[in-house]
Amino acid sequence: MDLNLNNIWLDRAMVPKIANLGLSRIFSEDRIKYYKEESPYMAPEYLNSTGMSVSIDIYSLGVMMIQITTREENNDNLDKASRIYIKDIRKRWTAEHIASVYSSLDSECLHQVHTCIKTGLECMQIDQKNRPSIDVIVDRLNTI
C-alpha cells in the first residue's frame, strides 16, 4: 500500500531498494484516509473500497515509472483516478516528444524510455484486470 518514490532508496552502488512496506500494515485510519484522498499512487479501485491486492501495487509501480521517465507528477487533487493525467501522458509523450526531451540519448535509450512510459501506462489501466502482471513487467524491462 505504501509503494511510492519516497520509499525507493539507493544503496552505495546506486542499486534501488524498496523500503517501509511493512509500515503499511500498522497505518492508522487517518493515514489510510490520507492515501485515499491525497496520494497519486492509489489505484482507482482502492479509492472506492478498502480491499488490497497486487494490482494496486502494479498501479503504484506504473505511476512511479511515469514520474521517473517523464519527470511529471499528477498534482491535480480533483483527478483522483488519474484519468486526466494518464490521458495527457498518453497524448503528449509520443516517440517524437521523447526524442525532443531526451535529445542527447541514442535510439536504443530512447526506445527504453518509450517502453518504460508504455509499460507505466499499462500498469495504470483503470480496469485492474487489464494491468500486466509483475512477471510480464520484469520480462519486458529485461529485454530492453
* Residue 36, pLDDT score: 47
- What is the DSSP code string of 14-76? --EEE--GGGGGG--HHHHHHHHHH-TTS-HHHHT-S---HHHHHHHHHHHHHHHHH------
Structural domain tally of the chain?
1
Per the structure, the complete domain to which residue 71 belongs is given by 5-142
C-alpha cell read off for 9: 532508496
C-alpha distance from residue 72 to each of 25, 67, 93, 117 (Å): 29, 5, 11, 12
Which pLDDT tens digit goes with each residue over 83-125? 888 899 999 999 999 999 999 999 999 999 999 999 999 999 9
Q: Which of 43, 84, 83, 82 is closest to 60 using CA atoms?
A: 43
Instruction: Compute the distance between CA of residue 43 and CA of residue 46 in angstroms, rounded to an integer.
Output: 5
Residue whose C-alpha cell reads 509501480 in the numeric block: 61
Which pLDDT tens digit goes with each residue over 38-93? 456 667 776 666 566 778 889 888 998 999 999 998 776 666 557 888 899 999 99
Instruction: Compute the distance between CA of residue 116 and CA of residue 144 in angstroms, rounded to an integer.
Output: 9
CATH code (residue 129):
1.10.510.10
Phi/psi of residue 8, each to 5°?
Answer: -105, 110
Q: Is residue 58 within 8 Å of residue 123, measured between CB atoms?
A: yes
